[in-house]
């Protein structure tokens, strides 16, 4: 993941102590540097220590933001004193940036409330937010109304805001490759390319015959194919897999890699079921797992909307995401379910895994044509889940987001699997059924539900249910 760059606005109001802006700016810059952010801001030698108070200050700040618009992911407004509400709002409006905004206010010290040191940022933050709302500028808030920059609470606020910025920028510029047609039996993964395009998400299609044609034309001793085979064998255990199957995987992997590079794609959704097995002789699960593990999310059954959910989690967490089925109940516990795929889960989510054959399809196309799945259990721990769908009937994109825990409950099955515990799971499943959400759901082993929900709902304008 690239470093996140913030545009910094230090608010000031002249009849409050200006020295607070100098110290506040320096403190905030130190915290941002420690947290790994790059910063674009008025220089310290600018009037009033690089703070923004007047119309002229707002213009100057906006011009600097415009110069770096291609790399600014979000804007941080910090108020060491009351701040000038109009100057802050004008700086953002004049910049023309459409990025997430976080509003922060310094806390007062009850022992330093004289005119020389009193901040009134508590009050000023409300005025700034009021103006941002009047201007139609969307913004986020810190967990506490006022908070010290060097506190653990603010560090958590910054981590959450970083995730919001990554999701918004990532999804607004995402390019997804759809390889093969939607499997006939899977009406559930229908989606609207037009609604995704309106949101900035482009979909490039590729007929399955083309990618198989490219793979079949390759020679097994081509350097790219040899290198791909070595990467596959380094990625997972392949001891029980026929050499011919591994060779086919390597050639298919090179074909997909080249197409993704040429089309400048960030993710893929692949048909798989069951044309690849019948007419090429492997399942693409390991290749898809490797792509997802390398932060190029890949979903099966040509579930393009599903891979959008994977990307939302991937951008938010900065780590791989998986796509699974809400697949089985787990005993009589209403808050537990078995999550499963056959599988293409990234190595990041497994406790352990190995390459195997696809037991479900093997009965119809032959075991020898179904090698390539990754089999193993997901490791226990907290996770965030997300499902994105194009609600064509209402002309909108919808999603649900929530958090839960993968447990260590005993379960003997095949494929990639885990036991998920989600509070009030029955309410979520009822909503999914009544709202027409698909049976696929994206997982990442991190807690970023709040950030992803806010990014999708507030900044992207999607209809989002945040499950708690």
Structure confidence by residue, pLDDT tens digits, 289-334: 999 999 999 999 999 999 999 999 999 999 999 999 999 999 999 9
Q: How many residues does the chain have?
A: 468
Task: Tell me the mean pLDDT in the region 133-160.
Answer: 98
Task: Tell me the mean pLDDT in the region 21-35.
Answer: 96
Q: What is the pLDDT of residues 200-246, one digit of tens each?
A: 999 999 999 999 999 999 999 999 999 999 999 999 999 999 999 99
Task: Verify cis geometry, omega within 30 degrees of 0, for the bond prior to 105.
Answer: no
Q: Which helix (H) or strand (E) holds 45?
A: none
Which residues make up the CATH 3.40.275.10 domain(s) of the chain?
A: 175-466
Is it the case that residue 439 has pLDDT exceeding 70? yes
Is it the case that residue 360 has pLDDT exceeding 90? no
pLDDT score of 109: 84
Give me the chain's average pLDDT, please. Answer: 96
In this structure, what DSSP letter does residue 323 have?
A: E
How much of the chain is in helix, strand and coil states, percent to nearest 5? Answer: 45, 25, 35
Which residues make up the CATH 3.40.50.10940 domain(s) of the chain?
A: 5-171
pLDDT score of 117: 77
CATH code for residues 5-171: 3.40.50.10940
Q: Which helix (H) or strand (E) holds 356?
A: strand 354-357
Q: Are 205 and 180 in contact (CB under 8 A)?
A: no
Q: 115 falls in which pLDDT band (50, 70, 90)? A: low
pLDDT score of 341: 95
pLDDT score of 146: 98
- 175-466 has CATH 3.40.190.10 classification: no
Question: For the residues of 432-444, what is the DSSP string, one character each?
Answer: HHHHT--SEEEEE
CA angle (83 as vertex; 80, 86 as ends), nearest 5: 150
In this structure, what DSSP letter does residue 301 have?
A: T
Is it the case that residue 14 has pLDDT exceeding 80? no
Q: How many CB atoms lie within 10 A of CB 128?
A: 26
The residue among 268, 234, 256, 445 whose CA lies nearest residue 355 is 234
- Beta bridge partners, 206, equal 179
Q: What is the pLDDT of residues 382-422, one digit of tens each?
A: 999 999 999 999 999 999 999 999 999 999 999 999 999 99
pLDDT score of 264: 98
Query: Helix (H, G, I), strand (E, B), or coil: what is residue 406?
Result: strand
Residues 6 or more apart whose Cβ sits within 8 Å of residue 94:
58, 59, 61, 62, 63
Please report, rounded to a whole number, the percentage of residues in the chain having pLDDT higher than 90: 91
Q: Which two tokens stand for residue 440?
A: 């696929």
pLDDT score of 114: 73
Is it the case that residue 465 has pLDDT exceeding 90? yes
Please give the Cα distance from 148 to 125 (Å, whole number). Answer: 14
Q: How many CB atoms lie within 10 A of CB 135?
A: 15
């Amino acid at each position: 993941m690239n470093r996140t760059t913030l545009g910094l606005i230090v608010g000031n109001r002249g009849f409050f102590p200006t020295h607070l802006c100098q110290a506040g700016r320096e403190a905030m810059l130190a915290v941002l540097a420690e947290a790994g952010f790059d910063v674009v801001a008025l220089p310290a030698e600018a009037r009033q220590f690089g703070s923004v108070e007047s119309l002229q200050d707002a213009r100057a700040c906006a011009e600097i933001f415009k110069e770096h618009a291609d790399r600014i992911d979000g804007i941080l407004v910090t108020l060491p004193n009351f701040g000038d509400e109009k100057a802050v709002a004008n700086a953002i409006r004049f910049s023309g940036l459409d990025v997430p905004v976080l509003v922060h206010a310094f806390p007062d010290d009850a022992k330093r409330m004289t005119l020389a040191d009193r901040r009134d940022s508590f009050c000023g933050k409300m005025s700034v937010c009021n103006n941002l709302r009047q201007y139609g500028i969307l913004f986020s808030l810190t967990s506490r109304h006022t908070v010290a920059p060097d506190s653990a609470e603010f560090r958590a606020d910054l981590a959450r805001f970083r995730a919001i910025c990554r999701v918004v920028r990532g999804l607004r510029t995402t390019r997804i490759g759809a390889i093969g047609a939607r499997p006939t039996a899977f009406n559930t993964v229908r989606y609207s390319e037009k609604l995704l395009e309106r949101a900035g998400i482009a979909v490039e299609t590729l007929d399955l015959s083309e990618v198989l044609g490219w793979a079949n034309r390759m020679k097994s001793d081509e350097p790219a194919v040899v290198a791909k085979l070595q990467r596959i064998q380094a990625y997972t255990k392949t001891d029980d897999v026929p050499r011919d199957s591994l060779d086919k995987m390597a050639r298919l992997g090179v074909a997909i890699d080249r197409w993704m590079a040429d089309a400048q794609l960030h993710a893929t959704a692949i048909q798989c079921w069951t044309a690849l097995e019948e007419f090429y002789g492997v399942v693409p699960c390991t290749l898809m797992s490797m792509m997802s593990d390398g932060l190029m999310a890949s979903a099966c059954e040509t579930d393009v909307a599903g891979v959008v959910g994977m990307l939302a989690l991937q951008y938010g967490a900065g780590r791989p995401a998986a796509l699974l089925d809400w697949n089985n109940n787990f005993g009589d516990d209403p808050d537990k379910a078995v999550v499963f795929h056959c599988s293409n889960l990234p190595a990041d989510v497994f406790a352990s895994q190995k390459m195997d054959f696809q037991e479900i399809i093997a009965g119809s196309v032959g075991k020898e044509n179904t090698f390539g799945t990754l089999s193993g259990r997901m490791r226990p721990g907290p996770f965030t889940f997300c499902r994105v769908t194009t609600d064509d009937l209402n002309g909108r994109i919808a999603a649900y987001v929530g958090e839960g825990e993968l447990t260590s409950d005993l379960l003997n099955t095949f494929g990639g699997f885990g036991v998920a515990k989600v509070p009030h799971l029955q309410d979520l499943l009822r909503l999914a059924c009544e709202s027409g959400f698909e049976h696929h759901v994206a997982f990442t082993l991190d807690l970023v539900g709040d950030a992803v929900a806010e990014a999708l709902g507030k900044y992207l304008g999607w209809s989002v249910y945040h499950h708690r």
